[in-house]
C-alpha cells in the first residue's frame, strides 16, 4: 500500500512533528506533578538533551516515541513503505545517538530513565514506575 498523502502533503505533515512538548512528554510531566515531584526542562546542556531533569536527584528522563527511536513494540517495529532505506538509516542514527547520550550520562553519575510512548497508556503503572525511580534517586542523593 502506498502513502495516503501525496509528497507535498506528507512533507507538510512531517514538518509539524514536534521535538519538544509532545503529547507523551506532557503526559509524563503531568504524572510527575500529580506525584508532587519537581523537575526542570531543557536538558541543562546534558548529553542527549533529556526531556526531564531533576538536578538534585541527578536523574534524567527521556520520553521516546516508539517509531522515531526504534522500539521493539508493534508501533516501533513498523517498516515505512515510502523511502524505507532513508527511514531505516535515520532510526538507526537515532538509536546510536541515544546509546551514546545514555552512556555519557551514566559515566557522569547521572541516573537515567527511558520511557517509551507505548508504556504511557497505563497511568497507574506509569505512576508506580515514576514514584519508584524518584524514590530510589532521592535515597541515593541523600
Task: Return the C-alpha torsion angle 43, 33, 31, 40, nearest 10.
Answer: 0
Pair 12, 55: CB distance under 8 Å: no
* pLDDT tens figures, 28-53: 999 999 999 999 998 778 999 999 99
Pair 72, 95: CB distance under 8 Å: no
Whether pLDDT at 141 is above 70: no
* pLDDT tens figures, 111-132: 999 999 999 999 999 999 999 9
Mean pLDDT taken over the chain: 88
* pLDDT tens figures, 6-25: 878 877 776 766 667 788 99
Percent pLDDT > 90 in the chain is: 62
Amino acid at each position: 500500500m502506498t502513502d495516503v498523502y501525496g509528497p507535498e502533503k506528507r512533507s507538510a505533515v512531517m514538518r509539524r512533528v514536534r521535538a519538544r512538548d509532545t503529547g507523551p512528554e506532557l503526559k509524563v510531566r503531568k504524572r510527575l506533578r500529580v506525584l508532587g515531584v519537581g523537575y526542570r526542562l531543557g536538558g541543562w546542556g546534558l548529553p542527549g538533551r533529556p526531556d526531564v531533569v531533576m538536578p538534585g536527584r541527578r536523574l534524567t528522563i527521556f520520553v521516546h516515541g516508539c517509531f522515531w527511536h526504534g522500539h521493539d513494540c508493534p508501533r516501533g517495529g513498523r517498516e515505512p513503505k515510502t523511502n524505507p532505506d532513508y527511514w531505516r538509516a535515520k532510526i538507526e542514527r537515532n538509536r546510536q545517538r541515544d546509546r551514546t547520550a545514555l552512556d555519557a550520562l551514566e559515566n557522569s553519575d547521572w541516573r537515567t530513565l527511558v520511557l517509551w510512548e507505548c508504556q504511557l497508556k497505563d497511568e497507574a503503572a506509569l505512576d508506580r514506575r515514576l514514584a519508584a525511580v524518584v524514590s530510589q534517586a532521592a535515597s541515593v542523593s541523600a
